[in-house]
Amino acid sequence: MKQFSTSQTLNNLPKQFFASLVKKVGKYIEAGYDVINLGQGNPDQATPQHIVKKMQEAAANPVNHKYSPFQGFRYLKQAAADFYKREYDVTIDPDSEVAILFGGKAGLVEIPQCLLNPGDIMLVPDPGYPDYLSGVALAKAEMITMPLREKNSFLPDYSELPSDVIESAKLMFLNYPNNPTGAAATKEFFEETVQLASQNDICVVHDFAYGAIGYDGNVPLSFLQIEGAKEVGIEIYTLSKTYNMAGWRVGFAVGNSSVISAVELLQDHLYCSIFGGIQEAAAEALTGPQECVRELNHLYERRRNVLIAGLRSLGWNVTAPKGSFFAWLKVPEGFTSTEFADILLEQAHIAVAPGIAFGELGEGFVRVGLLTSEERLEEAVRRISELAIFKKLAAEG
């Protein structure tokens, strides 16, 4: 069969790390091993029943069998605005400050194409969500990384960036609670970000995917809660994590009206909106009972506590995440992140994501998902204990 060559645009796309991780883990599962997969970010709980019920009812409505409005039903935009007012006391205009998205990832990949020309500078966290790089590649933009260092609580230190980079940058991505580090943003940091963006005409895109997941009584901050934030950027919210709707592919962007307009214009040419039944279910999620969200947060916190306490009991000096459903763990001395991840998979049949997959500064860490039961997390700790890695290190030390 004749093979047609792909475009340079496709050739420039970054390698999909998680596709290769799935393949690697799959080989062990196919071989009959009981793999504890802590490497991906796929929620393990079911979508709350009241949301599913709304979808079932909406699917029977002939109105939803037709094309949806190109930019989504207004009731879902209103639901997003009501959600932000209730949760964050942020006022959003549903007609000009909300764009419906095919999941948060779609918006993150689309926005660089909406705002950047080839060669324009975009600021991206390192380590960070790998799909940020996809938007950079598709926009043919230049990426400058912002180091996230443990000594700075995994917040970028803007003084590290050269002044000419800051002055010429047009777009910045941030993400708190953070994937992969589990760090949380402070009000002071967001205020500094707004000031920097305002002075240098930088559009800030805050990826708020884990906005509902905060620990030890701390509620994650919305970027839009900061005075002036809407003037310089937007926030992307997905229903995937908050309501266990990862497979439903629905989210939204809120904030600066010019950016929202640009996203909707691009999407007008890419899609014909989301199935109306999903939009009705999303509106029900945002405006209906929220006890399921609180219960989910408690579930992740219990899992976090089980995992962190268990690993510390082995002599592994790990830090508990402040948010998200990930833990960011330092690998033992003498191993790279990939080597340690491979040992866990090959010898303990535990899958984790090596930190290098999230950027150069991810080296020295592995990311562990809290997306399995407490019993399975305890089993993972037991298997790691049997490797005796930390006993050997303690003896050598």
CATH number for position 382: 3.90.1150.10
What whole-number distance in Å separates Cα of residue 369 and Cα of residue 47? 19
Average pLDDT of span 139-151: 96
The pLDDT value given to residue 395: 56
**Residues 192, 314: one domain?**
no
- Residue-wise pLDDT for 308-325, tens only, equals 999 999 999 999 999 999
Q: Tokens at residue 107, please?
A: 């918006």
Residues 190 and 201 in one domain: yes
Residue, of 393 and 108, whose pLDDT is higher: 108
The reported pLDDT for the residue numbered 23 is 86
pLDDT exceeds cutoff 90 at 114: yes
Give the rounded percent of residues in the chain with a pLDDT score beyond 90: 89
- 264 and 297 part of one domain: no
In a 3-state reduction of DSSP, which class is residue 369? Answer: strand
Strand segments (E) across the chain: 36-37, 98-101, 121-126, 142-147, 169-174, 203-207, 233-238, 251-255, 326-330, 350-351, 353-354, 365-369
Higher confidence at residue 199 or residue 394?
199
Q: Does residue 1 form part of some domain?
A: no
Burial class (CB in 10 A: 0-12, 13-18, 19+), 201: exposed
Q: What is the mean pLDDT of the chain?
A: 95
- Same domain (yes/no): 254, 323: no
Task: Please name the amino acid found at residue 339.
Answer: E
Tell whether the model's pLDDT for residue 184 goes beyond 70.
yes
Label each residue of 194-211 as H, E or C.
HHHHHHHCCEEEEECCCC
Residue 328's beta-bridge partner residues? 367
Look at residue 389 and tell me whether its pLDDT is greater than 90: no
What pLDDT shows up at residue 220? 97
Average pLDDT for 159-164 = 95
Distances in Å between the alpha carbon of 183 and those of 113, 145, 305?
28, 18, 16
224 and 103 within one domain: yes
In a domain, residue 3? The reply is no
pLDDT per residue as tens digits for the range 226-271: 999 999 999 999 999 999 999 999 999 999 999 999 999 999 999 9
Residue at 65 is within a domain: yes
Query: Within this chain, do residues 145 and 235 fall inside the same structural domain, yes or no?
Result: yes
What is the structure's pLDDT at 361?
Answer: 97
Q: How far apart are CA 134 and CA 16, in angstroms?
A: 9
One domain, residues 384 and 253? no
Tokens 């995994």 sit at which residue? 154
Cα(299)–Cα(307) distance, integer angstroms: 12
71 and 208: one domain? yes
Q: How confident is the model over 61-70, as a mean pLDDT?
A: 95
Q: Does residue 326 sit in the same domain as residue 177?
A: no
Last residue of a domain, one of 269, 287, 305: 287
> Please, are residues 82 and 286 in contact by the beta-carbon 8 Å criterion?
yes
Q: Predicted confidence band at 46 (pLDDT cuts at 50, 70, 90)?
A: very high
Helical pair 374-387 and 291-313, crossing angle rounded to 10 deg: 20
Residue range 326-372, pLDDT digits in tens: 999 999 988 999 999 999 999 999 999 999 999 999 999 999 999 99
Question: Could you tell me which residue, 377 or 273, shows the higher pLDDT?
Answer: 377
CA–CA separation, 360 and 127 (whole Å): 7
Is the same domain home to 180 and 62? Answer: yes
Q: Look at 50 and 387; give whichever has higher pLDDT.
A: 50
Provide the number of structural domains found in the chain: 2
Residue 397 has pLDDT above 80, yes or no: no
Q: How far is CA 26 from CA 205, 215, 368, in A?
A: 34, 32, 18
- Listed residues 259, 287, 315: the one ending a domain: 287
Please tell me whether residue 122 adopts helix, strand or coil conformation.
strand
Q: State the CATH number of the domain containing residue 280.
A: 3.40.640.10
Indicate whether 131 belongs to any domain.
yes
Q: Is 96 inside any structural domain?
A: yes
pLDDT at 243 (0 to 100): 98
Looking up tokens 């230190």 gives: 157
Kindly state whether residue 396 falls inside one of the protein's structural domains: no
Q: Do 210 and 241 meet the contact criterion of CB atoms below 8 Å apart?
A: yes
Range of the domain at 157: 49-287
Span 69-110, pLDDT tens digits: 999 999 999 999 999 999 999 999 999 999 999 999 999 999
Q: Is the same domain home to 73 and 142?
A: yes
Q: What is the mean pLDDT of residues 7-13?
A: 91
- For residue 392, is pLDDT > 80? no
Residue 2 lies in a domain: no
pLDDT band at 396 (very low <50, low <70, confident <90, very high): low
DSSP tag of 314: T
The predicted structure's pLDDT at residue 16: 78
Out of 245, 264, 287, pick the residue that ends a domain: 287
Residue 377 neighbours by CB under 8 Å, 6+ apart? 303, 306, 307, 310, 370
Q: How confident is the model at residue 17 (pLDDT cuts 50, 70, 90)?
A: confident
Give me the pLDDT at residue 57, please: 97
SS3 192: helix
pLDDT band at 394 (very low <50, low <70, confident <90, very high): low
Q: How many Cα atoms occupy the beta-carbon half-sphere of 22 within 13 Å?
A: 7
Share above pLDDT 70 across residues of the chain, in percent, rounded to a whole number? 98
CA angle 264, 222, 92 (to 5 degrees): 45
Report helix, strand or coil for 100: strand
Is residue 56 located within the same domain as residue 135? yes
